Amino acid sequence: MPRELTVEGLTIDPEFAAFISNEALPGLEIDEQEFWQGVAQIVNDLTPVNQALLVQREVFQAKIDAWHLSHKGQAIDANAYRSFLEEIGYLEPEGEDFTVTTKNIDLEISDIAGPQLVVPVSNARYALNAVNARWGSLYDALYGTDAIPQDEQGPSGNYVPERGEKVIAFARRFLDRSFPLASGSYADAVSLQIVDGALVVVLSGGQVTHLAEKKQLAGYRGGSKNLRAILLRNHGLHVEIRINRNSLIGKQDRAGIADLVIEAALSTILDCEDSVAVVDTQDKIEVYRNWLGLMKGDLSQTLEKKSQIITRTLNDDRVYRTCDGGRFTLRRRALMMVRNVGHLMTIDILRDEHGNPVFEGILDGIFTSLMALHDLDRPGGLRNSRAGSIYIVKPKMHGSREVAFAVELFSRIEQLLELDANTIKIGIMDEERRTTLNLKECIRAASERLFFINTGFLDRTGDEIHTSMEAGPMVRKGDMKTVPWIAAYEDWNVDVGLACGLPGHAQIGKGMWAMPDLMSDMLEQKLIHPKAGANTAWVPSPTAAVLHALHYHQVLVSERQELLAGLERATLEQLLEIPVAVDPSWSAQEIRLELDNNAQGILGYVSRWIDAGIGCSKVPDIHNVGLMEDRATLRISSQHMANWLHHGICTREQIMESMQRMASVVDEQNAGDPTYRALVTQKNGGDDLGGSLAFKAACDLVFEGSQQPSGYTEPILHAMRIKAKQRA
C-alpha cells in the first residue's frame, strides 16, 4: 500500500502520491519533497481567494434575483437594468484600448486557421485518434458520410464504384477551386509529375498545364519514376495528392490518384472537464496518466479491429522533398492543449487540514503543467510545442477577477516548476454571462499569456437562464438561437478579440457542430465560422475535421479579420436583452413536447454519466438523431425545465410524468448496448424507477436546478456517480 503523505497541513491520497512519485516525476530534475511543499504553499495561499470568488458569484446572483423580483410584472427597462449591473460591479468599467502581447506561440495558433477537436483525455484511444487527426483522408470522409448523398445500393461493406465516382468528382472540384490549374481541370488529368521543381499535369487531350500559382506546390514524396505524393499548400493548410496506380482507387483513376489527404485538425483540446466523468482519485489518475503519456510521447493503446490486434501510438512526422532538392518535415499530430476544470469543484486527491477536498482547478493547473515539462524538456522527436509553451484552456470563469486568479495560479506554478514567466498560456472560454459582458477586461487580465477565446452557445445559454431565473419564463429551447443576444454574443466575441489584437497572438474560436452524422448540413452551414472571422471552430470527430478543413481553403481568415476589424461592434444593449417569452401562452401540447425533448436529452446523457462514467458521447435525441452531448448540453436542458417549473409554465407532476415516459424511450434507444443499465426495472410486477441513481440525478438536476451554483450540473452528477461506483 502506498504511504500516506502529509505536507504543510495537506494530506495527499497515497495512491495519487505514488503515481506522482513513480510516473510523473521521474525524468524531471525536481526534488519530490520540495515539490510537494510548493504544492502545499500554492493550495494554502490560493484556496481562500478561490472561495471568495465563489462567494462573490452568489452575492451577485442574489442581488440580480432581488432586482428582478422587485420589478416583477414590469417590462425590463434596459437603461435601469444596465445601471443596476454597473452599480453592483457585475458590469465592469471598460478601460482604455490595448493589444495582447503573448509571445512564443506555435504557428497552429498564431498563423494558420483550421479545425479544432475536443476529446475526453480519460479515453486513451479517443485521445490518440484526435491527436493523429492532423491529417485525414478526404475520400474516406466523403464516401463514409452523407456529405455525398447515400443513394447507391450495394452490398454492405463492399465498395460501390458509382459512389466512388461521385467522391472523386467532388475531390476534383475541390482541387480546381483551391489549387487551380493555368488551364483545364483536374477532372481531365491523366498524369501528374514533378519536373524541374514544378507540377506538370497532362490532360486527356494531350494538353500540358501547371499550377496557376506555382508557389502552391510545397513539395513531394518519391522520385520522378515513383512519385508517391504531391504536397500542395493553400491558406497555410496542406493537401497531399497520393499517387498509387496499384491501389483499388488508383488503378481505376486515369491519373493514378488514390486519395487526397487533408491537413485537418490543427489543434486538439484534451479535456479534463465537461466531456469526462472524473469524481475520485482513480478517475483523476487515469486522466493525468493519459495526459502524461501524450506529453512524453509514449501513450499507446492496443485494440482489436477486424480480428487483428492493433497498437495505436502518436504519428511520426513525415519528410518531403522541396522543389529545389532539399528536404523538410511536416508534423502529423495536432497541437495539444489541455482543458482544466473551472473554479467550482473540489476533489479529494488532496485534503486540507480540516479534511476538506481541495479545489480541483488549482490541482489541474499544477499537475497538467508538471506533466507538460516532459514535452518542454524533450529536444526533438514527438515534441508538442515547438515554441516552448504549455496551453491550458480555462472554462467557466466569471469576469476579469476570476481570469486574474487563474493568471496568478499559473504564475505561481511557473515559480514552482522554475519556468520562465508566461510559459503557461491561457485560453478563456467565453461561456459565462459575466465574462461575455466584460470580455475586454478579461482579456486584459491575461494579456501577456492569452492564446485563445472561444464562444460556447450551450453553457452560455445555461448561464443566461440561471442568471435571469427570476426575470420570467424563457422562450422555448429551440427558439434560443433566434433571440437577439445570441447573434450579438457571437459577433461581440470576434469584435472584442480583434480590437484587443488577438490576430498573430491568439485564436478566436467558435463552438461545436453537435451532429456528427449530419456532415452534409455541416458542410453547408459551418462555413459561417471562418467567414465570421474565427480562425478555429470545434468539430465532433476526425472525419468532421477533414470536411470542415475545406472551409478554410475557401476563406482566408486573416483577410476576413482585417475586414471585420473596421466594422461597428455589437452592443451591450443587445447582449443584455434577456430571452424571456413575451407571450408564454403555449398550448398543453407545446409544453408537453418541450418537456419531453428536454427530459429525453437529460436522461440519455445522465444515464451514461452516472452508470458508465461516460462524460461525452453521441446520444440519440428524441427524434433518434445522434447528438454529441456533454455537461454543457445538460446544463441548458436542466435549467430550461427548472425555469419553466419556477414560473408555473408546468408543474412538478408534469415534469415527473415526462421523465418517466422518456425513461422508457431512452431504455429502448439503448437496448442494443449490453453494458447499458436500464432506467426502468421491474419490481412487484410493475415498472420501477426508484432504484436508478441516474433517474434520480436527472430529476434532481431539474427540481433543484434553480438552487445549483450558476446552474452547474457537476455537484449533483459527482455526488450520484460516487454513489453509483460505491454500489457497483
* Alpha-carbon dihedral sign for residues 164, 556, 388, 403: negative
| The residue type at 235 | H
Q: Which of 253, 283, 364, 630 is catalytic?
A: 630
Element (H, E) at 163: helix 161-178
DSSP, residue by residue, 308-360: EEEEE-PPPPEEEE-TTS-EEEE--SPEEEEE---SS-EEEEEE-TTSPEEEH
CA atoms of 337 and 357, how far apart (whole Å): 26
- Write down the residue that cell numbers 434520480 correspond to: 696
- Write down the residue that cell numbers 481568415 correspond to: 557
Please give the biggest Cα pair distance in the chain.
Answer: 83
CA atoms of 450 and 335, how far apart (whole Å): 16
With a CB cutoff of 8 Å and minimum separation 6, the contacts of 672 are none
The Cα angle at residue 637 between residues 272 and 482, in degrees rounded to 5: 105
Q: Which of 233, 242, 321, 339 is catalytic?
A: 339
* Residue 227 DSSP SS3: coil
For residue 327, list its beta bridge partners. 321
φ and ψ at 623, to 5 degrees? -100, 10
CA atoms of 451 and 394, how far apart (whole Å): 11
Structure letter (DSSP) for residue 535:
S
- Write down the residue that cell numbers 472561495 correspond to: 51
The Cα angle at residue 84 between residues 81 and 85, in degrees rounded to 5: 90
Q: Let me know if 608 is a catalytic residue.
A: no
Pairing of strands 390-394, 335-339: parallel
| The residue type at 365 | G
CA atoms of 287 and 606, how far apart (whole Å): 20
Whether residue 528 contacts residue 606, with contact meaning beta carbons closer than 8 Å, is answered with no
For residue 309, list its beta bridge partners. 304
Whether residue 322 contacts residue 311, with contact meaning beta carbons closer than 8 Å, is answered with no
**Spatial CA neighbour of 714 closest among 635, 650, 643:** 635
Q: Let me know if 444 is a catalytic residue.
A: no
- Burial label, 418 (beta-carbon count in 10 A; 0-12, 13-18, 19+): exposed
Supply the residues annotated as catalytic. Answer: 339, 630
